[in-house]
Each structure stands twice: as C-alpha cells, then as structure tokens.
A and B are shown apart, each in its own frame.
Chain A
C-alpha cells in the first residue's frame, strides 16, 4: 500500500513528470546534491540538527487549531487550521530553507542564492543565510519588487542582496531563470535554495520531504484531538510546497480526501490566471516536466494572480502526477473569491492570512457548508498576510475609506 509515496524513481520521475532537464554544467552538481541528500536523510546527526532548528528556531510544532467561529460561519464541516503562519518568518517556507541550508553547510558551499515571488521564500532564505553566516543573493522580479516592498526591506535588513530581474516579464519565472544563470556561473561555491517542489531532481522530492513535517504533525495532532484521521485536507498551490508538505504523509490513506487550490486570477476561462493544472498543458521548464501555462509553440505565458506567491506558470511535478492519477483534486479560486475569504478569516478568527492562503480558504467557503459537522477538514494556513497589506488596501481601498 505504498503506491503514492515511493516516488520519484532513480531518474527523478513521477510517472512522466519531473526529471533533470538542465544544462550539462549543472549536472555533476545536481548528481552530487542527490547523493548528499540521500546520505543526509539517513544521517542521525543531520536529522538531529534539523529537528533542533525546526523546534527552537522555527518554533515547531505549529498548532492544529480548531477554528470554531469559521466552522460556525460556514455552518458545515469542522474546520481546523494548521498554523504555519506562526512559524518564524511567518510562513511554511522556512521549513525547507532550514533543511537546505544545513545541507549547503554540509557540502561546504560558501554562498546562497534563491529566487522569490512574493518575497516569503526570499525572506526565509535570507533568514537562514544570516543565521549560518553565509552571503546571500535573492533574485526577484522587478514587478514583484514593486508590489512586495516590505519583504524587500526585510531581506535587506537580514543582510541579503536583492537583485531586481527585468529580463522577460520581471516576475517569479524570470527570477528563477536568473537564479539558474547565477548558479551555472558560480557552480563551484554556490548553493541554490529552490523555494518550492519544482526544479530538477532531487529538488521536488527534497523540498517535499522538508515540508512533510507539516503533514506528519497534522496527523499526530488530529489523532490526539479526535482519535482519527482528518476527512479532507485543503491547501493553496503555486509551485505547491505547502500543499505537498501537508498531503504527502496522507497519500496512502484512501479515506483522506485532498484538494489543491490553484490561483484562478480573473477566471481560468479569461486566460488571466496561474492555474497550470486547470488551464495548462505538459511541458519542460526549469529543470522538470510538468503542467505549464504556454502557447501552442511551447512559449511560456505569464501567470496572473492577485497573490505574487502563486504567480508562477508551472507547478511541482509530483502534483502533475497526482493530478493525472486522480489522487488529489485540483480546483481554482479567483482573485475575488480569495479576497472575500481573506476578509472572512480576518473577521471570524482574528487571523490575517496571506493572500496565497486565502485561495485555500476560498475553497473551504465553497465546500464546508455542504458537509456535516463530523467532517474534519484541515486547511493549511500557510502564511500570514502582513506582507499583503498594501495589495489588499489597494483592492479593498474604497470599502475602507
């Protein structure tokens, strides 16, 4: 009964998805990383350090909180929030960064680079780089820099150099291109901390494993609270790391339903969205084969979302595979639906969620009312919304004047 959890294969493939579609310059390093990571997984000392930093530095375990007022508000399923927004730096991103920086140290790397969209992964990377005394360069699309100023400032405070990316369309995909160009140029001394379950093997599996702490905790917390597993799990998806972290430990539990929520932007039919599974086709980008937003000629199309963190034209390859297997249901929520759910969460629970997370809450708003109170629904509250104040104020401006 391990049909969903023993992937990827040795070539980094989840069915036909994933792989290692990178330039030859990077291949030796990627193979080395694969070996180093495989060793670290079974190294008690590495695992001990990881557990230490997850606990005392990140603040894990994050609570599984019964959202009583949200449950009453929707009048259906019992809603639990997995409080990843309470982690140090305010999102799930740091779970992965701590793991990768420990690996970077172990491999003797002297410099950290990363890409970032909304800036949460950039902040988490800058944070661990500061903690471990490594110089850090963050690539961020010029467009995103403009809409995420507070995070840009946080990264600089933490000592990182933030490089605006103007090539292409100046968003997350271009930041990732630029980070890959940096990596290929500085391959000897640089460790690239990829922020999501994408990129060449072993990144999708490695990031998933570091994020799986979310699902493992949820499992034992729910067993403790209710004496059984949850009935459904809901998480938002850009690249898909918070969703994969929550889902993975439950993949072989057939009674646990899983729902991934993509960013529907102005609506999947409008063409202005970031829903790779609901509105894309298979292709090869950034080192892996997955579903992409692209035209018929294989040129990548810009994603659109109110949330910079979901504004990516691809999705992690394991999600592409789970989608084709039908194990996880992938839906989408529009900008407007996310904004609505954002406000409900603020008012009902006193928790300001990230706009990314609000997409998952928008699906809860659609689904929970139709379900009985006995249905236990866990939502990954992947990040807090402080960084989104400017965007939200812009979109809801009139209402608060």
Chain B
C-alpha cells in the first residue's frame, strides 16, 4: 500500500544529514523494458534519494532533444502506462523507502482514466506526480483527486512565475516544489548559480516545502554548487544521454549508475567540503 509520508521522511532524514537530495530522472521503458528495470532498481544503491520516472509521451513539448528521444525509444519498445505502473510495483517489492515520482504529460493519464490511474498508482507505491501541462488553473483535473489518494502533486515554479502568481502555484502543491532553473525545455543551458540562489531564496519566503532545482544540471560540480542552497538537485537529460550514447544495455546501466554515483558523492560533500571550488 501507499505510504504517503515517504517524501516527507526522505527530506526529514536528509535535513538531519545536512545535505540535499539527489533526484534522478529516467524515462520508463528507455531504452527497453528490461534495461529500464535494471536501471531503476540500481538507482538507490548508486546514491539516488528520490526517483523521477518519466511516463513517455509522443509529444513532449516541454522537453529538449534528449528526453524527446528517450520517450520515442520507450514507445517504440512498447512502453505503456500499464507497464510503467507495473515497474513501480515491482520496484516496491524490493524497496519500500525510496520515493518515486511519476513525471509526464496529462494526456496519457487522462486517456487511462484519472480515477483508475490514481487508484493503481497509489497501490503500486507512487508517491508523487509531476504533470507539466497542468497549471493550477486546472487543479480539479488531477491535483485535487491525487491528494485524495495520498499522492503528492508537485508543481513547477519557473523564472516567469512572479510574486503575484506564486501563491497560486504553491496552493495545493505538496511533497516538494520543483524550481525550473531556466525558462526553456529540459536539457537546456545551465543557469548562473548567483541568480538561482536568489530565486530559491525568494521562493523560500513563500513556502516551507523543500525546494528542488532542475533543468540544465549535468555535472557533479553543478550539482554541488546548486545543492548548497537547494533541498534537492534534479538531473535528467545528462543521465538519459548516457543511455543514448551506450552501445549495449550493460554499458547503459554502467554509465547511468556511474554518473549517479559521481553526482551522489558530490551532493553528499557539498555543504561540508573545505575546498570551496569543489562545490
């Protein structure tokens, strides 16, 4: 059954350790069902604290080329919503603590049926949802029903979300808030840390929720810099690129988990390291 406190417990534990969470993004079914399962199951051991699992969509209009291609690979491999939920179910048989957040677009959920999707997601052990094309203006579609199933609805705040709009974006948001570091698509250029730190500080004035930062974070160094002032660092396109550039499934698993380990090491050290340039 669903434990709606998994995200809360995770952030509480990390606060004790005085370090940010490492959040990884991979697309379910990329590059194929079996490799995707291996990738998913190895993430906690490689150092991921929170897992974002993408539900592939044919028209991912908020994603850059890396995640677009990942979605295509997954769909060509026959990935479906049923299979994605099943991946979570099988993962939960072995891991009852690492939070899983499903990320994607509304249409596959809408076509699956919102009630059916939420019921199955809750029983599979999904902790949260990030649905890019559902702004607060459409909260009655999925956000409010999700809360009734004990699933957090995690909203994106962006550089264009001004102070006037922020309260609306934060209302009904739970789990954490995802700050999109640049106006743009996933995998875009990295933001300057100074501007980012100011934005995160501004966001903190409006919310007690943990703040994750993502979009454009590719290296251990960037993760460390951003992890100093945020509660979680999200890395997606860089991991997905590892899959694209691997010539065999084994190599994909090795590369992804390898990069995760590097990132995990740097977020663990970033608030305690003595050498400022390392962070």
Which of B10-18, B179-187, B196-204 is the interface stretch? B179-187
Is B155 a contact partner of A185 (Cβ separation < 8 A)?
Answer: no
What are 18 A-B interface contacts by the 8 Å CB criterion? A19-B137, A22-B135, A23-B156, A24-B135, A24-B169, A25-B184, A27-B161, A28-B161, A176-B61, A181-B62, A181-B185, A184-B184, A187-B160, A188-B183, A285-B59, A297-B108, A298-B107, A299-B57
Q: B-facing mask of A24-37, CB < 8 A → 1, else 0?
A: 11111100000000
- The answer to whether B261 has its CB under 8 Å from any CB of chain A is no
Return chain B residues, CB-CB under 8 Å to A185. 183-185, 188
Per the 8 Å Cβ criterion, residues 132-178 of B in contact with A are 132-135, 137-138, 155-162, 165, 169
> Given known contacts A24-B158, A28-B160, is B133 in contact with A297 (CB within 8 Å)?
no
Q: Which residues of A contact B (CB under 8 A)?
A: 11, 19-29, 167-168, 173-174, 176-177, 180-181, 184-188, 281, 283-287, 289, 292, 294, 296-300
Bound CA span A285–B156, Å: 19
Size class of the contact patch on chain B: 35 or more
Q: Is the interface of A mostly helix, strand, loop or mixed?
A: mixed
- The answer to whether B272 has its CB under 8 Å from any CB of chain A is no
Is A167 a contact partner of B112 (Cβ separation < 8 A)?
Answer: no
> Given known contacts A284-B110, A294-B111, A298-B108, is B59 in contact with A20 (CB within 8 Å)?
no
> Given known contacts A180-B61, A185-B188, A284-B133, is B155 in contact with A24 (CB within 8 Å)?
yes
Bound CA span A354–B57, Å: 33
Is A28 a contact partner of B110 (Cβ separation < 8 A)?
Answer: no
Return chain A residues, CB-CB under 8 Å to B193. none
Return chain A residues, CB-CB under 8 Å to B72. 168
- The answer to whether B80 has its CB under 8 Å from any CB of chain A is yes
Is A284 a contact partner of B107 (Cβ separation < 8 A)?
Answer: yes
Bound CA span A20–B138, Å: 8
Give the Cβ gap from A173 to chain B, nearest Cβ, in Å. 6
Count: A-B pairs, CB below 8 Å: 117
Return chain A residues, CB-CB under 8 Å to B188. 185
Return chain A residues, CB-CB under 8 Å to B110. 283-284, 289, 298
Bound CA span A299–B71, Å: 11
Nearest B residue (CB) for A292: B107
Return chain A residues, CB-CB under 8 Å to B156. 23-25
Bound CA span A29–B112, Å: 31
Nearest A residue (CB) for B64: A181
- The answer to whether B238 has its CB under 8 Å from any CB of chain A is no
Return chain A residues, CB-CB under 8 Å to B185. 181, 184-185
Is A294 a contact partner of B65 (Cβ separation < 8 A)?
Answer: no
> Given known contacts A27-B135, A28-B165, A299-B58, is B107 in contact with A294 (CB within 8 Å)?
yes
Nearest A residue (CB) for B215: A25
> Given known contacts A21-B106, A22-B135, A294-B107, is B59 in contact with A173 (CB within 8 Å)?
yes
- The answer to whether B81 has its CB under 8 Å from any CB of chain A is yes
Give the Cβ gap from A13 to chain B, nearest Cβ, in Å. 10
Is B160 a contact partner of A29 (Cβ separation < 8 A)?
Answer: yes
Bound CA span A176–B162, Å: 26
Q: A-facing mask of B88-114, CB < 8 A → 1, else 0?
A: 000000000000000001111111100
Per the 8 Å Cβ criterion, residues 65-91 of B in contact with A are 65, 68, 72, 75, 80-81
A297 touches which of B81, B155, B159, B160 (Cβ 8 Å) = B81
